[in-house]
A = this chain, B = another copy of it.
Amino acid sequence: MVGSPPPPERMIRFDDGSYFRFPQMRWSVAHFRELMPTTNVSRGLGSPGKLDIALQAGIDQVSFVPLGGDSKMTWRDSLLVNYTDGIVVLHKGHIVYERYFGSLKPEGQHAAMSVTKTFVGTLAAMMVAEGTLDPERKVVDYVPELGKAAFGSATVRQLMDMTTGIRFSENYADPNAEVWAHAAAGNPLPKPKDYTGPRSYYEFLQTVQPEGKHGEAFHYRTANTDALGWVLARVSGKPVAQLLSERIWKKLGAEQDAYMTVDSTGTPFAGGGLNLGLRDLARFGEMIRNQGQYNGQQVVPKAAVADIRKGASKKDFAKAGYTSLTGWSYRDMWWVTHNEHGAFMARGVHGQALYVDPTAEVVIARFASHPVAANAANDATSLPAYDAVARYLMSR
């Protein structure tokens, strides 16, 4: 939105839903706080940590063959086809590449979408490593209100790895899919007069029904992260946004505050509500790459990072049927490639990504506004591109 006021045909409003359509979304992803209530994830009051810059001119010309393709594409071209809003590549902790497009600038926060889950899963893995959260205990032991819901009988570990047996369709094309009830419950706008459903994320979670058995297969379902967020809030006595601030943001030397969208009761959207600066996303990835050490301190326990990197059952993962992610697994809300380099990722719809390649000592943070939500639409021109740049940098 540009102008005082923006012309009517360029106006983007929250209540008519246009903000999430393409191309309006290219603006919205960098301006969610202007559309809805949010809560701050404070970086604290100190000075930001320094990120050294040592740009590598050759990266634009690095080429790769897209998955399922037969001709080469350059890194530079991949940025355009993936609707990249911003991308930072770190090698051994230095910024070797940084570009911004669309509505994003270095100063400014972008929606992380489901990359949010990875932050929440990492917080959980930290508390497990520290002994304050028992992954084998039942969810109901921490949140009695979930006793009658499908989550109650699952273990915390099953939430963390999304192997719960719950009825929760994320098929946006189906108007009866549970994801719509979830969204309606979490929507901070006043409910329509005839609305009778749950009125917050926590109320929604109490309505989730069982489907199948816990612990048998990976099913990617956002509600698991919201339930995990509730567990973390109950165990720590602090909302997830405050935990993120105290446990991660203040220790990373972040250069910007982040923020989370909230429902009408002030609960942050743990499943997808984080918005943050691109360089701060890269800092987080670099900290994980460094066994949890960064900015002069051990931010995440080494045991938690080891747990993330080892991944989970590939067999359970395969049952979810991701054709572009063969041989992967999902652990602590990270996507683990199990490739030669032991790379692992955070992923969010419309192209949000944090890629960590420990062998090449490379971290890639990307924000995007791809018109197609599912990352299957951009994996072919993203995953081999990350690998090619990592190998290029490793060979320098």
Contacts and interface: CB of A to CB of B under 8 A. Distances in A.
Contact of A34 (B1, B5, B37, B107): B37
Contacts of A48: 45-47
A11 interface: yes
A75 interface: no
A5 B256 contact: no
A206 B7 CA distance: 16
Interface string A20-44: 0000000000010111111110101
A106 interface: yes
Contact of A14 (B34, B37, B39): B37
Contacts of A35: 37
A162 to B, nearest CB: 21
A264 B47 contact: no
Contact of A42 (B6, B107, B234): B107
Q: Which of A35, A40, A230 has the most CB of B within 10 A?
A: A40
A255 interface: yes
B265 A230 contact: no
Within the oligomer, what is the number of copies of this chain? 2
B39 A190 contact: no
Contact of A15 (B39, B106, B264): B264
A234 B3 CA distance: 8
B33 A265 contact: no
B39 A33 contact: yes
Nearest to A40: B33
A257 interface: yes
Nearest to A263: B5
Contacts of A230: 4
A384 interface: no
B38 A34 contact: yes
Contacts of A109: 40
A147 interface: no
Q: Which of A6, A106, A230, A256 has the most CB of B within 10 A?
A: A256
A266 B34 contact: yes
Given A37-B34, A39-B34, A107 B45 contact: yes
Nearest to A44: B107
A45 B255 contact: yes
A233 interface: yes
Interface string A150-164: 000000000000000
A267 B37 contact: no
Interface string A87-123: 0000000000000000000111100000000000000
A55 to B, nearest CB: 18
B40 A6 contact: no
A267 B2 CA distance: 10
A202 interface: yes
A81 interface: no
Given A31-B266, A33-B38, A44-B107, 20 more contacts: A4-B230, A5-B200, A5-B202, A6-B265, A12-B266, A14-B37, A15-B190, A31-B39, A33-B33, A34-B38, A34-B262, A35-B37, A36-B37, A40-B108, A45-B48, A45-B107, A45-B256, A47-B48, A190-B190, A257-B257
Q: A-B pairs with the 7 shortest C-beta distances?
A: A47-B47, A4-B233, A15-B190, A45-B255, A1-B266, A34-B39, A5-B265
30 contacts: A4-B202, A4-B267, A5-B200, A5-B265, A6-B265, A6-B266, A11-B265, A13-B264, A13-B265, A14-B37, A15-B189, A15-B190, A33-B33, A33-B39, A33-B40, A33-B259, A34-B262, A34-B266, A36-B37, A37-B37, A40-B109, A42-B107, A44-B107, A45-B48, A45-B106, A45-B107, A45-B256, A46-B48, A47-B47, A189-B189
